[in-house]
Structure 1
């Protein structure tokens, strides 16, 4: 593991290096060998925090919550602001420091594993071999909770299951960052669309039909540009998302009411119950009536 900084740790901050014997077990266990933490921490208003590494033999992830810092890596200098993710892959010499007048507050984790490079590559920008070292994704309470859950591993002196849990928590963090990236990139470019506004309209009108013209008008775009930008951000089309939302609501009604299939179809905007059932089965793998029977055990969960 790359040596953590020797920054004097105040009471409200955390630095935890996982014992070597535990790391050895994580590296061999099938549930953690792909990706596992080596050390992690939380530095609050880290005045004087700085680090320089000519040899970087693992991977480092930093999430800046507040304040500012500076990173120099790959021959470039980067200013780090709240909501920024720093991802420094193995083998890249680097230095970083908290800004003197407004020092950063950060979560950090060193990590390794035979899938580590795959996760790093997963966070690469389109048409890029490596991730951008500083990725602005914003402050997200769920991501903060994920880091807090990761840090809970330090409370276990020697419980391999707790560390396996931490390893899989790290997987969740990396996957969550990848999920947040597209929307963050569009916001950063100034060319994004107000996804929340679009989704709010879908929620409000899930009981009826919506066409692309109406959805595109809410964000003042042509149908073509709206569909293109929406798919870039979400990975799906707006109509597919709207249909999925309708089917989710239908599932809720099937679970919580005794309404007929015809009534539920009408409640989510389908006048033709047969067509509704076809769409439902295509997405859920079972018909509406089979889905309803599953809650009583009258139909097997796995279906046919």
Structure 2
């Protein structure tokens, strides 16, 4: 397993799919390594003699030349990643004892979610180097798997924080209406600075980033599932106007709402 440290992923593609209802193909064979990294929802898979159900906290790795059977159980948001394993400049076209195949489950889902959050902003970017940046996050995810596999308990204290879990629920309840983070921190009995630091420690991102992620996720859904205008989408997501949503959307997802709608509508 230690050989995993010597391998580097050379990216070919990274596509983010949001709430996909069904796969275009129930089975496929790829000429490169493939990862389905689940952000939300679940699907059933079969790879060789391995079979199971993958959901958040899991990635599924399929080697080249291997039939990958899959079927969505609940609407699936995931990262579809194609890459080659490179060892000293040489591509590994077949499975290797150091490379996990099938489902890999993670304990530290906060670190996993943090990598996903950054990958989402990069996927489909016009930046010619965006795949190299995504490879950095993919490598961190794989290193995390290695670290968890050789330690029965993580060295880092990853205990639950019930108050911040409550904060997540409150943000989710209020996400699509105008509300104040200051009022929320007051409700939790914390100063805004204490709230931000504690939330980031527990969730791997600031409360504002968490809120933005929820709103942009809804915006993505509205853009590809209906004919609402940008102004209407903005109001349904808790923003005052379409101009602000367009600026934020372009900054975070590296494409305009109209470009996202053209790209993702099928």
Give the alignment's TM-score, normalised by structure 1.
Answer: 0.40
1 or 2 for the larger relative contact order (CA 8 Å, sep ≥6)? 2
Q: Which has the larger radius of gyration?
A: 1
Q: Which has the higher strand share?
A: 2
